[in-house]
Amino acid sequence: MIKIIPAIDVIDGKCVRLTKGDFSKKKIYNENPLEVAKEFEEIGIKYLHLVDLDGAKAKQIVNWKVLESIASETNLTIDFGGGVRSKEDLRIAFESGASKITAGSIAAKEKETVLAWLDKYGEKIILGADTIDGKVSINAWEVTTELPLIDYIRDYWALGITSTIVTDISRDGVLTGPAFDLYKSIKSEIPKIELIASGGVSEIADVDKLNEQNIEGVIIGKAIYEGRIKLDELKRFLC
């Protein structure tokens, strides 16, 4: 069964959503991310994808207090990303209660650093692979590299990464449906990697289809906040 992983994106300590990563298209959904996290936990959700958008821009963790409050007041398994670029960031994130860390831009820019993290923390390190037009995107989606996405994931899989979050930027926050063909291609090429789909989920039928494709996890953000997916609809995926 596919893992349901709601997203909380944080700017200035508030729960927000962007459209295609555009900071100028920010919508605040709740002043208190902890309240949102508790709502998720109350219906039986076990996982949370927490992104420090301020940290992603600052290239260092900023909203660690939000992470700390959610980790200390819920039992959610939190994967945390945004601004994790150094040993100090890693220390802060884990000490603040993160269960896993998403290595995004740094994985494309400082491979040896991420491999050192992987050697120390193993499966606690998730590869964040954001993409547009089949290429890896970095720096809060401001820069598109020449790195082919599937080759990039395959390379890290060979080096020990077991899980990746793949976000199709063109679909993020626009509720047009996930990149089903892209995820199918990744699973075909790298069948044993844990693939977490992110971006575009607009209705419960999207979750059903990803589950049918044997995708291991799905991150859902705007569809929940906009009421396109009701929390009760997710209960049948929870176990």
Residue pair 23/57 in contact by the 8 Å Cβ criterion: yes
Find the CATH number of the domain harbouring 184.
3.20.20.70
Confidence of residue 144 (pLDDT cuts 50, 70, 90): confident
Confidence of residue 239 (pLDDT cuts 50, 70, 90): confident
Confidence of residue 176 (pLDDT cuts 50, 70, 90): confident
pLDDT digits (tens, 9 = 90+) for 177-186: 999 999 999 9
Token duo for residue 197? 């789909």
Residue pair 124/99 in contact by the 8 Å Cβ criterion: yes
Burial 149-162 (b: 16+ CB within 10 A, else e): bbebbbebbeeebe
Cα(236)–Cα(239) distance, rounded to whole angstroms?
8
pLDDT of residue 100 exceeding 70, the answer is yes
**Number of compact structural domains in the chain:** 1
Query: Position of tokens 């699973």?
Result: 187
Residue pair 34/70 in contact by the 8 Å Cβ criterion: yes
pLDDT digits (tens, 9 = 90+) for 82-95: 989 999 999 999 99
Q: Model pTM? A: 0.93
Q: What is the percent of the chain where pLDDT is above 90?
A: 81
Cα(26)–Cα(91) distance, rounded to whole angstroms?
29
Query: Position of tokens 């059903």?
Result: 208
Predicted local confidence at residue 172, as pLDDT: 73
Task: Show the domain range for 38.
Answer: 3-237
Predicted local confidence at residue 145, as pLDDT: 79
pLDDT of residue 171 exceeding 90, the answer is no
Catalytic residues: 9, 130
Cα(220)–Cα(192) distance, rounded to whole angstroms?
23
φ/ψ of 33, rounded to 5, equals -60, -30
Q: Which of 75, 59, 83, 78 is nearest to 67 (CA)?
A: 78
Q: Which of 89, 76, 33 is nearest to 238 (CA)?
A: 76
Q: What mean pLDDT value characterizes the chain?
A: 93
What is the pLDDT averaged over residues 13-31? 78
Confidence of residue 122 (pLDDT cuts 50, 70, 90): very high
